[in-house]
Amino acid sequence: MKLNRRHFIGSSAALTATLAAPVVWGDSHGKPKVVVIGGGAGGATVARYLAKDSKGGIDVTLVEPTRKYYTCFFSNLYIAGFRDLMSIGHTYGTLAADYGINVVHDWAIGIDRDARTVTLASGSVLPYDRLVLSPGIDFVDGAVPGWDVSTQGAMPHAYKGGTQAELLKRQIEAMPEGGTYCMIAPPNPFRCPPGPYERVSMVAHKLSQTNPTAKILIADPKEKFSKQALFEEGWETHYGGMVERLGPDFGGGNVSVNAADMMVDIDGEVVKADVCNVIPAMKAGRICEMAGVTEGNWAPVVPATMQSRLDENIHVLGDSANQGDMPKSGFAANSQAKVASMAIRGALTGSKVFPAKFTNTCWSLISTDNGVKVGATYEATDEKIAKVDGFISQTGENADLRKATFEESVGWYSGITADMFG
Amino acid sequence: MTGPRTLAACAALMLAPATSVGASEFGDVARGAEFWKQCRTCHRIGPNASNKVGPNLNFIFGRVFGVAEGYRYSKAMTAAGEEGRVWDLDQLDAYITDPRGFLKGTKMTFKGIKDPQERADVLAWLRENSDNPSDIPEAEPTAVGTDHSVDAAILAIAGDPEYGEYLSSECLTCHRADGEVDGIPSVIGWPDEDFVVAMHAYKDKVRPHPVMQMMAGRLSNEEIASLAAYFSALGQ
């Protein structure tokens, strides 16, 4: 499907009209149609809330290529052996059976914004009144020289859930005694800011039990990272000497790899890795670019509704959106989905619209029963989703509190997955 | 100290096989009365006792699990009742030692009492009062506020359940709509007043949890009332 930016220019008049008089669909038009692309924390949630709250008044189609969805959140716990793979896999049967959502396992490969249609890899075409894009992330080509999709088998990213996480886990289990696990950490902004560092903690936990002389080396282009004091305290206390991080001052931002030889070049120093976990720079899921709703790497949105700033018939949720202060997390995508659902129902069915509220909390596990968290609340301003208030776990907290925080994260996992998949 | 009536009531209970050391010893009723103040945040006892966040505890000794009339129990508690399990001294002692360890899936989020003497004390008080609710010293057990005082004008605000439904979507990222409990407490089916008082206790930073302090901190009095109206109805 051919797309270009002129589609947007033609629609600015329509935007004015829409704001002046929300369209309320009558029977003569049939039910309004919403197509959701991406069945993760943003997409599954918005599909479920649209179907549930419109009580069948909106025809909802969810396009998600995988039949079983493995969450990225808790995949680090899987790598460490705290969860099994089954427990982080979810299917879409309840959304189809109990909520009447048309779940289509296919890839969206084109969007015609004038005709308001989505073309699928199978060749089918889906019309929409509103389109929701929640495709997560893709990687920036050439971000780590020597690494691309053809080498992700040798050097997994394990940053999209499922197969790659299984692969990384097996590679860690097969490391030689005293071997080196190397992580190439991504630059900002990226999905799940504490994610790479929780992963390091979980890999260290696993290695300290099975391969205690192994080393973990992080090459990091960032000066600072999320929950840094908490992670560094935990690494020192529980995995003393195992974890070494090279920040930008030590060349952590100047990295290339040679997957065939498992060599990592960090600012001219060449290291032989036994496992190399490359997490490249990220951008919005490719379908956003194909829809022409990106500026730079991400898709800018109107905070109060999560509508694309480039097309008012499209909403962008979660990691792909450039929205302001919220981190790219499953919790944030789930929160944004509820705001978008309310806005879409308001526009298509005339239901009541309340002020947008957003929340995020990210839990991380550092060692057994040692959970920490960071969170904030947000509001919609004209320019961005702006932080209102927040909190973070403290260093030196007692074991009971850390255990309670971990238990809370387990409860959250059960809560959010019930909220996504019904 | 235990009176003759209590001793008589206990004789039958002592016939049950003692599986727990703590439960076989009599506690101090006066000390138990002090501890009961913590329990009263969620549980009531007495002639007018209603279900609050937790079920009323009248006649708890000898009561089948999960049968307080009108209380919405966890699936786990209801299932245990259907198996015919009965609250005796040992069962209660084991439960309050580690509620979630004793019955996985229980809605009771109390962390448990590790000290056997403390458990014995509060069970002694409960035994003294449970089977004779008319003897309870507090005249109006259900009229007393919970753990935080909230202005009557705030309690009187009538919430808008439709607004509450939208606001609730924020809560449901963690708290489950089906009322099940797994590390995060249920918020379904609480009496409106208890819900409002608890949320204001977070808002005023009297209750300690940082996430809840943050969430409640940005909610207006009307929004809290709306959430209370929505969640209490969801439990019906």
Least confident range of A324-328, B68-72, B136-140, B179-183: B136-140
Which residues does chain B have within 8 Å of residue A359's beta carbon, measured at their own beta carbons? 170, 173, 215
**Strand, helix or coil for residue A276:** strand
CATH number, residue A287: 3.50.50.60
The answer to whether A411 contacts B172, with C-beta atoms less than 8 Å apart, is no
Residue A303 belongs to a domain: yes
The residue that leads in pLDDT, A163 or A10, is A163
Which residues does chain A have within 8 Å of residue B180's beta carbon, measured at their own beta carbons? 414
Residue A161 belongs to a domain: yes
pLDDT at B10: 42
Residue A422 belongs to a domain: no
Residue A123 belongs to a domain: yes
pLDDT at A237: 96
- Do A212 and A151 sit in the same domain of this protein? yes
The answer to whether A390 contacts B214, with C-beta atoms less than 8 Å apart, is yes
Residue A404 belongs to a domain: no
CATH number, residue B92: 1.10.760.10
> How close is the nearest chain A Cα to the Cα of B174, in Å?
4
- Do A90 and A57 sit in the same domain of this protein? yes
- Do A35 and A129 sit in the same domain of this protein? yes
The answer to whether B183 contacts A410, with C-beta atoms less than 8 Å apart, is yes
pLDDT at B25: 57
Q: Which of B166, B183, B213 sits opposite A411 (nearest CB)?
A: B183
The answer to whether A412 contacts B169, with C-beta atoms less than 8 Å apart, is no
Which residues does chain A have within 8 Å of residue B166's beta carbon, measured at their own beta carbons? 338, 342, 354
Residue A25 has pLDDT above 50, yes or no: no
Residue A168 has pLDDT above 70, yes or no: yes
Which residues does chain A have within 8 Å of residue B162's beta carbon, measured at their own beta carbons? 352
Q: How far is CA B143 from the centre of its chain?
A: 16
Does the CB of B174 have a partner CB in chain A at under 8 Å?
yes
Between strands A321-322 and A299-302, the pairing is parallel
- Do A209 and A178 sit in the same domain of this protein? yes
Q: What is the pLDDT of residues A292-303, one digit of tens each?
A: 999 999 999 999
Distant-in-sequence contacts of A389-396, Cβ < 8 A, 24+ apart:
A389/B214, A389/B217, A389/B218, A390/B214, A391/B210, A391/B211, A391/B213, A391/B214, A392/A227, A392/A230, A393/A227, A393/A230, A395/A229, A395/A230, A395/A233, A396/A233
pLDDT at B191: 86
Which residues does chain A have within 8 Å of residue B174's beta carbon, measured at their own beta carbons? 361, 408, 411-412, 415-416
Q: Name the residue with tokens 């659902």.
A: A341
Residues of A numbered 210-249 whose beta carbons fall under 8 angstroms of chain B's beta carbons: which are they? none
- What mean pLDDT is predicted for residues A323-340? 98
- Do A55 and A127 sit in the same domain of this protein? yes
- Do B104 and B198 sit in the same domain of this protein? no
Task: Return all residues near A154 (Cβ < 8 A) that are at least 6 apart.
Answer: A259, A260, A262, A276
The residue that leads in pLDDT, B13 or A155, is A155
The answer to whether B170 contacts A357, with C-beta atoms less than 8 Å apart, is yes
- What mean pLDDT is predicted for residues A277-286? 98
The answer to whether B173 contacts A410, with C-beta atoms less than 8 Å apart, is no
The answer to whether A407 contacts B183, with C-beta atoms less than 8 Å apart, is yes
Which residues does chain A have within 8 Å of residue B105's beta carbon, measured at their own beta carbons? none
Q: Is the dihedral of CA B98, B103, B109, B110 positive or negative?
A: negative
Report residue B59's pLDDT band, with 50, 70 and 90 as the boundaries.
confident
Does the CB of B160 have a partner CB in chain A at under 8 Å?
no
Residue B143 has pLDDT above 70, yes or no: no
- Do B66 and B180 sit in the same domain of this protein? no
Question: What values do phi and psi take at A385, rounded to 5?
Answer: -80, 120
The answer to whether B162 contacts A411, with C-beta atoms less than 8 Å apart, is no
Report residue B132's pLDDT band, with 50, 70 and 90 as the boundaries.
low
Domain finish residue from A215, A243, A278: A278
- What pTM did the predictor assign? 0.80
Residue B160 has pLDDT above 50, yes or no: yes
Domain finish residue from A297, A330, A353: A353
- Do A12 and A122 sit in the same domain of this protein? yes
Between strands A307-308 and A311-316, the pairing is antiparallel
Percent of chain A with pLDDT over 70: 93
- Do B15 and B128 sit in the same domain of this protein? yes
State the Cα–Cα distance between residues A187 and A140, nearest whole angstrom: 11
Would you say B105 and B181 are in contact if contact means Cβ atoms under 8 Å apart?
yes
Distances (CA, A) of A255 to A124, A151, A247, B124: 43, 16, 11, 68
- Do A148 and A76 sit in the same domain of this protein? no
- What's the number of domains chain A is made of? 2
Concatenated DSSP letters of A85-119: GGGGEEESHHHHHHH--EEE-S-EEEEETTTTEEE
- What mean pLDDT is predicted for residues B115-138? 75
Concatenated DSSP letters of A169-199: HHHHHTPPTT-EEEEEPPPSS-BSTTHHHHH
The answer to whether B211 contacts A357, with C-beta atoms less than 8 Å apart, is no
- Do B13 and B129 sit in the same domain of this protein? yes
Q: Is the dihedral of CA A283, A5, A312, A295 positive or negative?
A: positive
State the Cα–Cα distance between residues A115 and A125, nearest whole angstrom: 11
- Do B218 and B108 sit in the same domain of this protein? no
Report residue A31's pLDDT band, with 50, 70 and 90 as the boundaries.
very high
Residue A138 has pLDDT above 80, yes or no: yes
- Strand ranges (DSSP E) for A122-268? 125-127, 130-133, 137-139, 180-184, 215-219, 243-246, 255-258, 263-266
- Do B38 and B137 sit in the same domain of this protein? yes
The answer to whether B166 contacts A334, with C-beta atoms less than 8 Å apart, is no
Q: What is the pLDDT of residues A191-237, one digit of tens each?
A: 999 999 999 999 999 999 999 999 999 999 999 999 999 999 999 99
Distances (CA, A) of A316 to A21, A164, A361: 23, 26, 20
User: Roughly what angle, to the nearest 10 degrees, separates helices B161-171 and B221-234?
Assistant: 90
Task: Return all residues near B169 (Cβ < 8 A) that are at least 6 apart.
Answer: A49, A338
Range of the domain at A240: 143-278
- Do A261 and A317 sit in the same domain of this protein? no
Domain finish residue from B115, B143, B171: B143
- Do A156 and A269 sit in the same domain of this protein? yes
Least confident range of A230-244, A284-298, B12-26, B163-177: B12-26
- Do A154 and A131 sit in the same domain of this protein? no
Which residues does chain B have within 8 Å of residue A408's beta carbon, measured at their own beta carbons? 174, 183-184, 211
Which residue does chain B place closest to A46, by CA atoms?
B169
Residue A82 belongs to a domain: yes
- Do B11 and B117 sit in the same domain of this protein? yes
> Quick one: CA torsion of A282, A283, A286, A292, rounded to 10 degrees?
-170
Q: Which of A389, A410, A416 sits opposite B214 (nearest CB)?
A: A389
- What's the number of domains chain B is made of? 2
Task: Return all residues near B103 (Cβ < 8 A) that are at least 6 apart.
Answer: B76, B77, B80, B95
The residue that leads in pLDDT, A17 or B205, is B205
- What mean pLDDT is predicted for residues B59-64? 87
- What mean pLDDT is predicted for residues A331-340? 98
Q: How many CB atoms lie within 10 A of CB B178?
A: 10
- Do B199 and B90 sit in the same domain of this protein? no
- Do B44 and B99 sit in the same domain of this protein? yes
The rounded mean pLDDT for chain A is 93
Q: Which of B166, B181, B218 sits opposite A388 (nearest CB)?
A: B218
Residue A44 belongs to a domain: yes
pLDDT at B133: 53
pLDDT at A412: 95
pLDDT at B188: 87
Does the CB of B166 have a partner CB in chain A at under 8 Å?
yes
Least confident range of A38-47, A314-323, A366-375, B31-40: B31-40
Would you say B224 and B196 are in contact if contact means Cβ atoms under 8 Å apart?
yes
pLDDT at B46: 81
State the Cα–Cα distance between residues A39 and A63, nearest whole angstrom: 7
Sheet with A269-272: strands ordered across: A255-258, A263-266, A269-272
Would you say A58 and A34 are in contact if contact means Cβ atoms under 8 Å apart?
yes
State the Cα–Cα distance between residues A334 and A284, nearest whole angstrom: 17
Range of the domain at B206: 152-234
Structure tokens at B138: 């507090």
The residue that leads in pLDDT, A397 or B9, is A397
Domain finish residue from A353, A388, A409: A353
The answer to whether A418 contacts B176, with C-beta atoms less than 8 Å apart, is yes
- Strand ranges (DSSP E) for A259-396? 263-266, 269-272, 275-278, 282-284, 299-302, 307-308, 311-316, 321-322, 357-367, 370-380, 385-392
- Do B41 and B104 sit in the same domain of this protein? yes
Q: A230: part of which helix (H) or strand (E)?
A: helix A228-238
The rounded mean pLDDT for chain B is 81
Does the CB of B234 have a partner CB in chain A at under 8 Å?
no
Would you say A36 and A141 are in contact if contact means Cβ atoms under 8 Å apart?
no
Does the CB of A414 have a partner CB in chain B at under 8 Å?
yes
Most confident of A14-23, A24-33, B113-122, B128-137: B113-122
- Do B39 and B96 sit in the same domain of this protein? yes
The answer to whether A375 contacts B163, with C-beta atoms less than 8 Å apart, is no
Residue B48 has pLDDT above 90, yes or no: no
Q: Which one, of A208, A193, A268, lies nearest residue A242 by Cα?
A: A208
Residue A261 belongs to a domain: yes
Q: Which one, of A252, A133, A125, A135, lies nearest residue A186 by Cα?
A: A252
Report residue A336's pLDDT band, with 50, 70 and 90 as the boundaries.
very high
- Do B174 and B222 sit in the same domain of this protein? yes
Least confident range of A106-115, A145-154, A239-248, B96-105: B96-105
- Do A88 and A187 sit in the same domain of this protein? no
